[in-house]
């Protein structure tokens, strides 16, 4: 008598959450003037690349339980606070150029906080020119490859009044987080001769 049980289970879950908050606050105060130009440029580029490759190879009497939990939580809080207060000192033709280039390449739980504070103090003939350019580029590439190969090789040789009861119960619990490969092979051969 030969008893054989084979169980194969594959479970995949993917969760993604993204939040983007952008706040821009500008205050300008003028007191007595002196040809002042303030130029502020802010560039933001965000790219998120997520690749998940899962390969599972199982041979003979195998239970493969694969759970992939991918949570990508991206919060981008951008606050640009520009205050221009005109007070004494500094004369004639003041140019302030501020460029902020932020590239964030993140995986899972990334918070980026950018604060830019600009104060310009001038006297006589003040011209305030404020330009705020905000570019937000978000690219999300998700590739999920799941390959499951199951091969079962069972050889049972019985001669003369033999009862063989074989139960093979294998449970494999694999959690894979980004570019990890797990190979499990189980090969069982039972030869009984009497």
Q: Left (φ > 0), alpha (ψ -120 to 50) or beta: where does 135 sit? A: beta
Residue at 2 is within a domain: no
- The predicted pLDDT at position 26 comes to 47
Residue at 137 is within a domain: yes
Q: Rounded to whole angstroms, how far apart are CA atoms 50 and 108?
A: 9
Residue at 160 is within a domain: no
- The predicted pLDDT at position 192 comes to 47
pLDDT tens-digit readout, 99-141: 656 565 556 555 656 575 656 565 666 576 767 676 766 676 6
Mean pLDDT confidence for 132-155: 65
Q: Which domain holds residue 113?
A: 13-64+72-148+170-175+182-187
Residue at 5 is within a domain: no
pLDDT above 60 for 146: yes
pLDDT tens-digit readout, 34-78: 454 545 454 445 555 555 555 545 454 445 454 545 555 555 555
Residue at 140 is within a domain: yes
Residue at 159 is within a domain: no
Q: Rounded to whole angstroms, how far apart are CA atoms 116 and 158?
A: 81
- The predicted pLDDT at position 62 comes to 44
Is pLDDT larger for residue 147 or for residue 116?
A: 147
Q: Using an 8 Å Cβ cutoff, are 37 and 127 in contact?
A: yes
Q: What share of the chain is helix, strand, coil (3-state, %, to 5)?
A: 0, 60, 40
Q: Rounded to whole angstroms, how far apart are CA atoms 182 and 66?
A: 10
HSE value, Cβ hemisphere, 13 Å, CA-based, for 151? 9
Q: Per mean pLDDT, which range of 50-54, 77-81, 155-159 is the poorest?
A: 50-54
Residue at 156 is within a domain: no
Mean pLDDT, the chain, whole residue set = 56
- The predicted pLDDT at position 139 comes to 73
Mean pLDDT confidence for 85-112: 57
Domain count, the chain: 1
Residue 105, strand partner residues = 47
pTM for this prediction:
0.19
Residue at 163 is within a domain: no
């Amino acid at each position: 008598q030969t008893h054989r049980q084979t169980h194969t289970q594959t479970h995949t879950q993917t969760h993604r959450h993204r939040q983007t908050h952008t706040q821009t606050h500008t205050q300008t105060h003028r007191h007595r003037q002196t040809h002042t130009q303030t130029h502020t440029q802010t560039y933001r580029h965000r790219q998120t690349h997520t690749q998940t490759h899962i390969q599972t190879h199982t041979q003979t009497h195998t239970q493969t339980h694969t759970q992939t939990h991918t949570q990508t939580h991206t919060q981008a809080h951008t606050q640009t606070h520009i205050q221009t207060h005109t007070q004494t000192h500094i004369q004639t033709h003041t140019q302030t150029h501020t460029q902020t280039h932020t590239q964030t390449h993140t995986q899972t739980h990334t918070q980026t906080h950018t604060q830019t504070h600009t104060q310009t103090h001038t006297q006589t003939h003040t011209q305030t020119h404020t330009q705020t350019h905000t570019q937000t580029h978000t690219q999300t590439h998700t590739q999920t490859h799941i390959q499951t190969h199951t091969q079962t090789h069972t050889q049972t040789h019985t001669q003369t009044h033999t009862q063989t009861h074989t139960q093979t119960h294998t449970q494999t619990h694999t959690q894979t987080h980004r570019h990890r490969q797990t190979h499990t092979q189980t090969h069982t051969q039972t030869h009984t001769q009497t």
